[in-house]
Every structure is written in C-alpha cells, then in structure tokens.
Amino acid sequence: MEIDWEKFRQVVEEKIDSKLVSITSKLDEQDKLISDLTNTIKSLIESTKPKANKLNLKSMAKPVVKEVAKKKESIESGEEKPAELTKDNSEENKDSPTEEA
C-alpha cells in the first residue's frame, strides 16, 4: 500500500490553516474584549475622579469658614467656653461647677 504524500501534505496544510484561522479569530475576539475592558476601566476611573467633589468642597468651604468664625466669636465673647476631654474622653466645660465643688 502506497501513501499519497502529496494528498497527505495537502490535508495536513488544510487542517493547519483551519486551526490558524480559528486561533487568529479567537485572538481577535480576546483583543476586542481586552480593549473593551480597558475602555470600561478608563471610563470608570474618569467617572470616579473627584471632579464633582471639588465643586462640592468649594461650595461647602464657605459655610464651614463662617461656622468656624462664629465659634471663635462666641468663644471670644464668652458665650461658649471651649470643651476639653477628660480621661474617659467625655467633653466637659473648663469652668464646670462640679470641678470647683
């Protein structure tokens, strides 16, 4: 029995070509998936950057500054006395009547 080497070579080449096409298409699909994932990650990173937070912080900064200024004024005028922490971390006024008694 004689083997037709030309036919054998042709069949092997066809199978190799078909496998190469299959592998290439799978790699192309994976490249597209990787590209899509990369774009999604980039857009997520962009959306989580604190752009809006900067605006919120700017708008919140003024009331906070006003609040601090009001506190300072009330402390300076004697309306409110600053609190200090005791050993058990509870707040008490410096001139508390229980401390003097």
CA atoms within 13 A on the CB side of 17: 6
Mean pLDDT of all residues in 1-13 = 92
C-beta of residue 81 within 8 angstroms of C-beta of residue 91? no
Mean pLDDT of all residues in 35-39 = 97
Give the per-residue pLDDT at 1. 75
Domain extents in the chain? 15-49
Most confident of 17-26, 46-55, 66-75: 17-26
Give the per-residue pLDDT at 25. 97
Q: What is the CA radius of gyration of the chain?
A: 38
98: pLDDT strictly greater than 80: no
Give the per-residue pLDDT at 101. 44
Strand partners, 91: 85
With a threshold of 0.85, does the pTM exceed it?
A: no
